[in-house]
């Protein structure tokens, strides 16, 4: 059964497309590039997620109970949670080394510092992935990583409650065309980063796992130097949402992995 959701695609343009952060020196002041709200059909893979493979599709959904339940700002939980993520990715995707380097907690609330990302995107371009590799391990070790198989992999999980609204949705990579991708700059006061945006294409096959709980995770690829597909993704504004449900809370953990 297909459901309907709204996503915000990026728009192809001859002009530079960019997010400008903390504009005018004001923290949180954001100027976004042009986005195109679009209704898409979305299929729920609940009960069918075993047919999705990280090896071939760049994504898998797994059950994983974490010791950590409260991901507060004190971050006293990071050592324990990082160790759990390393074990998870070793077991589920065959990583031989896992470096956890970032956690982002998102809350779908107007007053939240970090809200769900509602633009269709992938976290890295080839250039920004290369720069991130160097930033994390240094140029000397980066050469070792490049000589083998490495990638950037995200682990996403709900916090506190099951996801009733604005779930995380993904585009089946086999339904993406090369021309759908575009470079989007991230302009900060002290640096310029880069992600990939996705343009609208009626052939896109959107899917998600409904009502994900804190004991479930999505493991998905965002860069791979051996060509494993990257996942275009976005929060989904579902046509039928539960206004009485608590706001969506989630944590996204970014990792650098090596494979045997």
CATH code of residue 221: 2.60.120
* DSSP-derived pairing of the beta strands 181-187 and 18-20: parallel
Range of the domain at 166: 2-259
Which residue is associated with the tokens 């974490």? 66
Reduced 3-state DSSP string for the chain = CEEEEEEEEECCCCCCCEEECCHHHCCCCCECCCEEEEEEEEEECCCCHHHCCHHHHCEEEEECCCCCCCCCCCCCCHHHHHHHHHHHHHHHHCCCEEEEEEEEEEECCCCCCCCCCCECEECCCHHHHHHHHHHHHHHHHHHHHHHCEEEEEEEEEECCCCCCCCCEEEECHHHCCHHHEEEEEEECCCCEEEEEEEECCCCCCEEECCCCCCCEEEEEEEEECCCCCCCCEEECEECCCCCCCCCCEEEEEEEEEEEC
Q: Characterise 138 by phi-psi region: left (phi > 0), alpha (psi -120 to 50), beta (else).
A: left
Q: Which two tokens stand for residue 169?
A: 């949705």
At residue 112, the pLDDT reads: 87
Tokens 């920004």 locate to: 128
Place of tokens 């070793």: 90
pTM, two decimal places: 0.95
The answer to whether the beta carbons of residues 11 and 35 sit under 8 Å apart is yes
Number of domains, the chain? 1
- Residue numbers of the chain with a pLDDT score lower than 50: none
**For residue 63, what pLDDT is reported?**
96
**How much is the pLDDT for 181?**
97
Q: Which residue has the tokens 């070790």?
A: 141
pLDDT of amino acid 207: 98
Closest CA to 78 of 106, 107, 102: 102
How high is the pLDDT of residue 30?
Answer: 85
Q: Minimal CA–CA distance to 187: which of 10, 7, 29?
A: 29
């Amino acid at each position: 059964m297909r459901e309907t959701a709204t996503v915000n695609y990026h728009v192809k343009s001859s002009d530079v497309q960019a997010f400008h952060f903390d504009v005018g020196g004001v923290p949180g002041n954001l100027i976004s590039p042009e986005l195109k709200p679009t209704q898409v059909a979305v299929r729920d893979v609940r009960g069918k997620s075993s047919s999705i493979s990280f090896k071939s599709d760049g994504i898998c959904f797994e059950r994983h109970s974490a010791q950590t339940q409260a991901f507060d700002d004190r971050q006293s939980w990071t050592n324990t949670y990082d160790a759990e993520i390393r074990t998870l990715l070793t077991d589920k995707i065959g990583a031989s080394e896992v470096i956890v380097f970032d956690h982002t907690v998102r809350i779908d609330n107007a007053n939240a510092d970090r809200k769900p990302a509602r633009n269709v995107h992938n976290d890295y371009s080839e250039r920004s992935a290369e720069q991130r590799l160097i930033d994390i391990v240094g140029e000397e070790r980066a050469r070792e990583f490049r000589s083998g198989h490495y990638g950037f992999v995200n682990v996403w999980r709900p916090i506190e409650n099951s996801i009733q609204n604005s779930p995380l949705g993904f585009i089946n990579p086999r339904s993406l065309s090369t021309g759908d991708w575009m470079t989007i700059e991230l302009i900060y006061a002290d640096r310029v980063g880069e992600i990939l945006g996705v343009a609208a294409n009626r052939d896109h096959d959107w899917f998600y796992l409904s009502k994900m709980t804190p004991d479930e995770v999505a493991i998905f690829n965002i860069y791979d130097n051996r060509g494993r597909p990257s996942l275009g993704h976005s929060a989904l504004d579902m046509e039928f949402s539960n206004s009485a449900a608590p706001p969506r809370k989630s944590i996204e953990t970014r990792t650098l992995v090596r494979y045997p």
